[in-house]
């Protein structure tokens, strides 16, 4: 079975540019999560979706960040305009729907560097 | 706020030894999960223990949960060099359905 697929794996861009990160969750999973990982702050939940609907976006740091899930097999995280402090590894994860909290399956992340 | 805090932050042992990592959390939980992260990769789920369980085993892994102390431990027996990774605990709070809150992790190094 294919796991969670993220693209690109690496992104280097100049500040002010728009950045779009992509995620394909595991087929059949109803919940999708976007995380950011940095040395200083560890792993932070940015937003999660259930059945393609955003449930909690309280972790999204600023209005420059937006996320969409147009269908069950695709999600994007967009940063516009990007800033150097956005540099981090961004992970997408998915899980099957369960009120008790099922294990999450992570992609290998997008390493983002904003110059 | 972080639901889980791992201790120690870093641990270095010889191959064949046991490794114990501890996790403390702040609020009541439905379940607690342990994940492993190899360098440059995503997190991989290891084991889940529910709030009404006290101990769980999976291969060389043993997890305990003490809800009265709000703590959990992960024991890896007969460690191997391939166990070198960061280990995270993460809790699902009683009040939320699907949000995991991760600790800062323990970096385990197993020396051959």
pLDDT digits (tens, 9 = 90+) for A62-72: 899 999 999 99
Question: Chains A and B: how many Cβ contacts under 8 Å?
Answer: 57
Q: Would you give per-residue pLDDT tens digits along chain B (112 residues)?
A: 445 678 889 999 999 999 999 999 888 888 899 999 999 999 999 999 999 999 999 999 999 999 999 999 999 999 999 999 999 999 877 665 557 888 889 999 999 9
Q: What are phi and psi of A63, to 5 degrees?
A: -65, -15
Tell me the chain B residues in contact with residue A42 when contact means C-beta distances shorter than 8 Å. Answer: 2, 102-105
When CB atoms are compared, the residue of A48, A91, A101 closest to B42 is A91
Higher per-residue confidence, A100 vs A82: A82
When CB atoms are compared, the residue of A31, A43, A98 closest to B102 is A43
CB B3 within 8 A of CB B93: yes
Tell me the chain B residues in contact with residue A103 when contact means C-beta distances shorter than 8 Å. Answer: 33, 45, 48
Considering chain A, what is the average pLDDT of its residues? 93
Predicted local distance difference test score (pLDDT) of residue B25: 87
Closest by alpha carbon to B5, among B111, B90, B92, B83? B90
Residue B63 Cα, gap to closest chain A Cα (Å)? 15
Query: Partners of A45 in the beta sheet?
Result: A35
Residues 6+ apart with CB under 8 A from B96: none
């Amino acid at each position: 079975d294919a796991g969670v697929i993220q693209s690109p794996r690496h992104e280097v861009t100049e500040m002010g540019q728009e950045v779009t990160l992509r995620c394909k969750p595991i087929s059949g999973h109803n919940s999708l999560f976007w995380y950011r990982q940095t040395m200083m702050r560890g792993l932070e939940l940015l937003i999660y979706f259930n059945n393609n609907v955003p449930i909690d976006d309280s972790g999204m740091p600023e209005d420059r960040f937006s996320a969409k899930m147009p269908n069950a097999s695709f999600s994007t995280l967009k940063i516009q305009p990007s800033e150097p402090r956005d540099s981090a590894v961004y992970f997408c994860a998915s899980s099957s729907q369960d009120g008790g909290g099922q294990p999450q399956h992570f992609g290998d992340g997008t390493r983002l560097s904003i110059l | 706020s972080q639901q889980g805090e791992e201790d120690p932050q870093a641990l270095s042992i010889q191959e064949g030894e046991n490794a114990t990592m501890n996790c403390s959390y702040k609020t009541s939980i439905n379940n607690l999960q342990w994940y492993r992260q190899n360098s440059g990769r995503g997190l991989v789920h290891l084991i889940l223990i529910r709030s009404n369980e006290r101990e769980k085993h999976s291969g060389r892994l043993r997890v305990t949960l003490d809800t009265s102390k709000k703590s959990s431990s992960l024991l890896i027996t007969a460690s191997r060099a391939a166990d070198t990774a960061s280990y995270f605990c993460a809790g699902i709070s009683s009040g939320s359905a699907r949000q995991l809150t991760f600790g800062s992790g323990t970096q385990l190094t197993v020396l051959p």
